[in-house]
Amino acid sequence: MSNFVHLHVHSEFSLLDGANRIKDIPKRAKELGMDAIALTDHGVMYGVIDFYKACKKEGIKPIIGCEVYVALRSRFDKEPNIDNKYNHLILLAKNEQGYKNLSKLVSLGFVDGYYYKPRIDKEILEQYHEGLICLSACLAGAVNQAILNGDMPKAEETALWYKNLFGEDYYLEIQNNGIKEQVLANQKLIELSRKLDIPLVATNDAHYLKREDAYNHEVLLCIQTGKKMSDTDRMRFETDELYIKSPEEMSEYFKAFPESIENTVKIAEKCNVDFEFGHTILPNYDVPEEYPTHYDYLKKLCDDGMRKRYGENLSEELKTRVEYELGVIKKMGYVDYFLIVWDFIHYAKTNGIPVGPGRGSGAGSIVAYSIEITDIDPIKYGLIFERFLNPERISMPDFDVDFCYERRQEVIDYVARKYGVDHVSQIITFGTMSARMVIRDVGRALDVPYSDCDKLAKMIPNEPHITIAKAMQQNYELRQLYESNSETQKLLDIAMALEGMPRQASTHACRSSYYKRAS
- 463 contact partners, CB below 8 Å, separation of at least 6: none
The strand ranges marked E within 119-177 are 119-120, 132-135, 170-175
The span from the CA of 508 to the CA of 494, in Å, is 29
How many angstroms separate the CA atoms of 87 and 62, rounded?
A: 25
Where are the domain boundaries for CATH 3.20.20.140 in the chain?
24-206+245-270
Taking CA atoms, 24 is separated from 54, 91, 466, in Å, by 8, 22, 21
Which of these, 4, 237, 283, lies nearest to 139 by C-alpha position?
A: 237
Q: For every one of its 519 residues, what pLDDT tens digit does the chain have, with 9 covering 90 and above?
A: 679 999 999 999 998 788 999 999 999 999 999 999 999 999 999 999 999 999 999 999 999 999 999 999 999 999 999 999 999 999 999 999 999 999 999 999 999 999 999 999 999 999 999 999 999 999 999 999 999 999 999 999 999 999 999 999 999 999 999 899 999 999 999 999 999 999 999 999 999 999 999 999 999 999 988 899 988 888 878 799 999 999 999 999 999 999 999 999 999 999 999 998 767 777 888 999 999 999 999 999 999 999 999 998 899 999 999 999 999 999 988 999 999 999 999 999 999 999 998 888 889 999 999 999 999 999 999 999 988 888 877 677 888 888 888 898 999 999 999 988 878 887 888 888 899 999 999 999 999 999 999 999 999 998 888 999 999 998 899 999 999 999 999 999 999 999 998 888 877 765 444 433 333
Q: Which fold has domain 24-206+245-270?
A: TIM Barrel (3.20.20)
Q: CB of 224 within 8 A of CB of 164?
A: no
d(CA 100, CA 297): 34
10 Å Cβ neighbour count for 238? Answer: 10
Cβ-contact 209, 243 below 8 angstroms: yes
